[in-house]
Amino acid sequence: MAETARIALIRGDGIGVDVAGAAVAVAEAAVAAEGGCVLRWEEIHAGAGYFRDTGHDIEPRGEERAGAADAIFLGAIGLPAVRHADGTEISPHLRLRDRFGLYAGVRPVRAWPNAPQRLADPRAAGIDLVILRESTEGLFYSAAVHGRSRIIGDEEVRETLRITRATTEKLHDFGFRLARKRRDRGRPGRLTCVDKANVFPSMAFFRKIFDEIAARYPDVEAGYNYVDAMALDLVRRPWDFDVMVTENMFGDILSDLAGGLVGGMGLAACAEIGDETGLFQPAHGSAPDIMGQDRANPLAAILSGAMMLDYLADKSGNDRFARAAARVERAVEDGFAANAIRPMEFGGDMGTRAVTAEVIARLEGG
């Protein structure tokens, strides 16, 4: 049972720098309040700003160092004015995802008290779901590596949708473990396989493997939904869902839809997890339009930090990390409920620093 966890910290660009700072401060305060667990941060320089200054998108040996840590935390990367010579964006984080096989994209979506809510139905206050998106295969398999799409003159383009047994088994297994863990914490603990098994053999295969893995988790309720029906249900009755597992492209689309139902970008936390390590980052980008103004909502980063603490608990066997994570979530929840967290993003009067200070002030009690 390890007491100290090593975190590779990539602050990145734009508001990534500010929200990463907020997440570090909150995680530090949470582990200090808990005791018995320690974080050691190892800074790695990377991003568009770093590329502009040095010609490299990540510092020498940065990838190796990131991989050697227990987890990676990232603010945000990218600046509109800084690109590679061929016009593509600076994206060392996509290489990290590829290199470390971060197949499990975890996107929690939940309603917070007093945060914006799109649906008028009072049950919308109970939205609390997770979209588990496969992040290395699916239709993005074609897009991830240049040359995988087949471009036939100016007449036709063919892309490949790839589903492998190895990755899909791991993904579904991850989904069942996540659903079980949530059940142990008071959620329904249901896993819904979202696919298009009625049309595509690849999706029927995805569902077949889901059934195989489901047999190992008889205690977890398993269900299915076609992706088109899921889009409808996410608008009609999102409160009925717990964890859903799906392929890359479907997950990409559904997580934006679900995110749009509750709050904004500043609440969208994200984890990308592989066999050896996990990368934690807010789902939003570097938002250059508001950088350096203390306006960014740090909560997505702070909540991603809580997901990281939870991950460290599993990885190290030290439950104190999980308790520190729960403290952070409770602090955000209570802060919203007391109307003491009022981010500018939602028309409130609190900038990055004020929101961060409020969360930290609430950690002690938890």
Which residues are designated catalytic? 141, 196, 228, 252, 256
Partner whose footprint covers residue 47, from Mg ion, ligand ATP, none (CB < 5 to 8 Å by kind): none
Minimum distance, C-beta of residue 285 to Mg ion, in the bound complex (Å): 5
Q: Is the Cβ of residue 34 or residue 345 nearer to ligand ATP in the bound state?
A: 345
Minimum distance, C-beta of residue 69 to ligand ATP, in the bound complex (Å): 23
**Which residue do the tokens 């004020």 mark?**
354
The residue from 202, 297, 304, 356 that contacts ligand ATP (CB under 6 A) is: 297
CA angle 30, 34, 39 (to 5 degrees): 60
Q: Is the Cβ of residue 32 or residue 265 nearer to ligand ATP in the bound state?
A: 265
- Supply 5's token pair: 């966890």
Within a 10 A sphere around the Cβ of 323, how many other Cβ atoms? 20
Q: Which stretch binds ligand ATP (CB under 6 A): 5-13, 42-50, 294-302, 314-322?
A: 294-302
Minimum distance, C-beta of residue 169 to ligand ATP, in the bound complex (Å): 30
Q: Which stretch binds Mg ion (CB under 5 A): 167-175, 209-217, 279-287, 313-321?
A: 279-287
The residue from 96, 115, 296, 355 that contacts ligand ATP (CB under 6 A) is: 296
Instruction: Please report, as residue ranges, which positions from 324 to 363 form the binding site for ligand ATP (by CB under 6 A).
Output: 345
Q: Is the Cβ of residue 78 or residue 189 nearer to ligand ATP in the bound state?
A: 78
Strands 243-246 and 190-195: parallel
Using CB under 6 A as the binding rule, whether residue 21 contacts ligand ATP is answered as no
Minimum distance, C-beta of residue 29 to ligand ATP, in the bound complex (Å): 20
Burial of 150 (0-12, 13-18, 19+ CB in 10 A): exposed
CA atoms of 68 and 65, how far apart (whole Å): 5
Partner whose footprint covers residue 192, from Mg ion, ligand ATP, none (CB < 5 to 8 Å by kind): none
Phi and psi at residue 149, in whole multiples of 5°?
-80, 140
In the complex, which residue's CB is closest to ligand ATP? 285
Using CB under 6 A as the binding rule, whether residue 49 contacts ligand ATP is answered as no
Strands 4-12 and 71-76: parallel
Under DSSP, is residue 273 helix (H, G, I), strand (E, B) or coil? strand
Minimum distance, C-beta of residue 12 to ligand ATP, in the bound complex (Å): 10
> 198: part of which helix (H) or strand (E)?
none
Residue 3 in contact with residue 36, Cβ under 8 Å? yes
CA atoms of 131 and 356, how far apart (whole Å): 26
Q: Which residues pair with 6 in a beta bridge?
A: 40
**Which residue do the tokens 């699916």 mark?**
138
Using CB under 6 A as the binding rule, whether residue 300 contacts ligand ATP is answered as yes
Phi and psi at residue 14, in whole multiples of 5°?
55, -135
Using CB under 6 A as the binding rule, whether residue 286 contacts ligand ATP is answered as yes
Residue (of 114, 73, 136, 128) closest to 305 by Cα position: 73
The residue from 58, 290, 324, 332 that contacts ligand ATP (CB under 6 A) is: 290
Residues 6+ apart with CB under 8 A from 312: 5, 37, 70, 71, 318, 321
> Which chain residues interact with Mg ion by CB under 5 A?
285
> Which chain residues interact with ligand ATP by CB under 6 A?
15, 78, 265-266, 284-287, 289-290, 296-297, 300, 345
